[in-house]
Structure 1
């Protein structure tokens, strides 16, 4: 199996459909922490939902239009990074992430997102990589900044979640800027 070492105890590797049970258990344990920001977590916390989620990304990967990778710490699934949007024609993709609360503050998401962006730009030739987050999600904003992204703007009240409309910030880095951020 291919993997990328993130730290001494953490690695990034494929999160495939056969790992649906592991994903559903991980998301169920972190659901309270993740649900305020990620609408898909509630559905994917069930075995059936996790299987559908992972199959959707496996199908996208087979078409060359996205992928999802997991972050394992000491052999335990603890988060992930994915291409939520992948548009070959426009050369634009969007990176999304999640992490268990007990793993925050270790730089795992920044390292994993760096690897994904580097692959998108250097291997797949993407021109623009976006990062979108609810404006109130300060940890997510800080990751975008650490990645060298610029704030393009705010989509006011564009994201309905749990009966509230949230502002969404759009951050990006262009391929021509990416080497300078590394």
Structure 2
């Protein structure tokens, strides 16, 4: 970041004389080529999501979530009912465009419209969604909404420092590592150090271009395998 010198000879941040608080996110549907995001709804998505998560062989996907694995569909639907229509976090279901079924969720949270900052969190992707084009596109759709439509300046990703897959995912998606907040949270009876990542608005054009190049049909072979990695396609 460039520093400027004020009247007292002190370095200060870049001036933003025209800055105005941004709009609060709204519950909308975001359509992509492979998936779409819909406002999370227990009646519409609960059963499908529980069935999608049940594809996992064990409960390891919930280790770093605040929730525990759910005993049955009714328990999961009751959980989703508490999440729907929330102001912060705002949860979205990821819908597979081919099957028209919900296969995962993610949320906008820690929303700070005054400063143009928001975090993506509560990322719960089922085995039907993990490591697919849909998974990458879901993140792209929500980022595009935050930067292009709402005009936010900062998009955050945070995770347990022990969660190496989440840290790898953040870097793959274009987030920059900012540091570790030690003993930031107590959850599930244990201490958590939290890793912080972000993308800022000046980086978004390059990150966006990488997403669009990677998601293009010509980047995939007939068997669906990628020709180029996402990171290789960012300018």
Instruction: State the match for 1:140 in structure 2.
Output: 166
1:11 matched to 2:11 = no
Instruction: State the match for 2:64 in structure 1.
Output: 37
Structure 1 residue 145, shift from structure 2 partner: 1.1
Partner of 1:37: helix, strand, or coil?
coil
Partner of 1:83: helix, strand, or coil?
strand
TM-score (norm 2): 0.63
Gaps of 5+ in 1: none
Classify 1:117/1:2 alpha carbon distance in 2 versus 1 (closer, same or farther; 3 Å). closer
1:70 matched to 2:96 = no
Structure 1 residue 160, shift from structure 2 partner: 1.9
Q: Partners in 2 of 1:142 and 1:107 — Cα distance?
A: 17
Classify 1:150/1:3 alpha carbon distance in 2 versus 1 (closer, same or farther; 3 Å). closer
Partner of 1:86: helix, strand, or coil?
strand
- The 8 Å contact of residues 40 and 84 in structure 2, kept in 1 or not, is answered as yes
Instruction: State the match for 1:51 in structure 2.
Output: 81
- The 8 Å contact of residues 42 and 77 in structure 2, kept in 1 or not, is answered as no
Q: Partners in 2 of 1:106 and 1:38 — Cα distance?
A: 21
Instruction: State the match for 1:94 in structure 2.
Output: 119
Q: Partners in 2 of 1:41 and 1:90 — Cα distance?
A: 33
Q: Kindly tell me the number of residue pairs found equivalent between the two proteins.
A: 173
Q: Partners in 2 of 1:146 and 1:101 — Cα distance?
A: 19
1:25 matched to 2:50 = yes
Structure 1 moving runs of 4+ over 4 Å: 41-45
Structure 1 residue 68, shift from structure 2 partner: 2.3
Classify 1:84/1:34 alpha carbon distance in 2 versus 1 (closer, same or farther; 3 Å). farther
- The 8 Å contact of residues 30 and 141 in structure 2, kept in 1 or not, is answered as no
TM-score (norm 1): 0.80
Classify 1:28/1:45 alpha carbon distance in 2 versus 1 (closer, same or farther; 3 Å). farther
- The 8 Å contact of residues 66 and 83 in structure 1, kept in 2 or not, is answered as yes
Partner of 1:101: helix, strand, or coil?
coil
**Quick check: 32-41 or 132-141, which moved more?**
32-41
The CA deviation string for residues 9-40 of structure 1, in whole angstroms up to 9 with x for no partner, is: x4333323543633673587368233211104
- The 8 Å contact of residues 68 and 83 in structure 1, kept in 2 or not, is answered as yes
Q: Partners in 1 of 2:178 and 2:38 — Cα distance?
A: 30
Which protein has the larger Cα radius of gyration, Structure 1 or Structure 2?
A: 2
1:126 matched to 2:166 = no
Structure 1 residue 119, shift from structure 2 partner: 0.8
Give the number of the structure whose residues are more often helix, by fraction. Answer: 1
Give the number of the structure whose residues are more often strand, by fraction. Answer: 1
